[in-house]
Amino acid sequence: MILGQHLLIECHGQHASLESEELAALLCEAAAAGGATVLFQHFHKFGDQGGVTGVLILAESHITVHTWPEYNYAAFDIFMCGEARPKDAAAVIVARFPTAQVEIKTVDRASPAHPTTPNRVSHQHDRFGATTHSSET
């Protein structure tokens, strides 16, 4: 059973130069787009030229950001459970700077005690490189 989705968003571009207040507004907008409820937020800037780290604690989990302006890089992390829509939240972050280079990795968070499907399929390669499939129940 999938309990939530965890999105890791790698941004190379303008996201890295946003100030704390701009990042807070962006993350709050993303949370709203994802149908999440913000419970708490905290942002910290590292020196005059340093990056920012920030977190939104959500009723549905969290959104975080870490920026490195010196590398033109920002890392966002969205984890949402229940009826929240983390991909909608990610779309807001991505849309902020359409020309930025962005990569999103999605991880389904699931309980191993409650698999998502009754059968698991494993893929194996034989010594000749052919793929074989087996089903486990």
Question: What is the Cα–Cα distance from 21 to 106, expressed in whole angstroms?
Answer: 27
Task: Give yes or no for a contact between 41 and 22, defined as CB atoms under 8 angstroms apart.
Answer: no
**Considering 66, 111, 134, 135, which one is annotated as catalytic?**
66
Cα–Cα distance between 105 and 86 in angstroms, integer?
A: 12
Q: Pick the catalytic residue: 11, 15, 61, 62?
A: 61
How far apart are the C-alpha atoms of 21 and 4, rounded to whole Å?
28
Residue of 81, 114, 125, 135 marked catalytic: 81
Among this protein's residues, is 28 annotated catalytic? no
Judge whether 20 counts as a catalytic residue: no
Active-site amino acid positions: 61, 66, 81
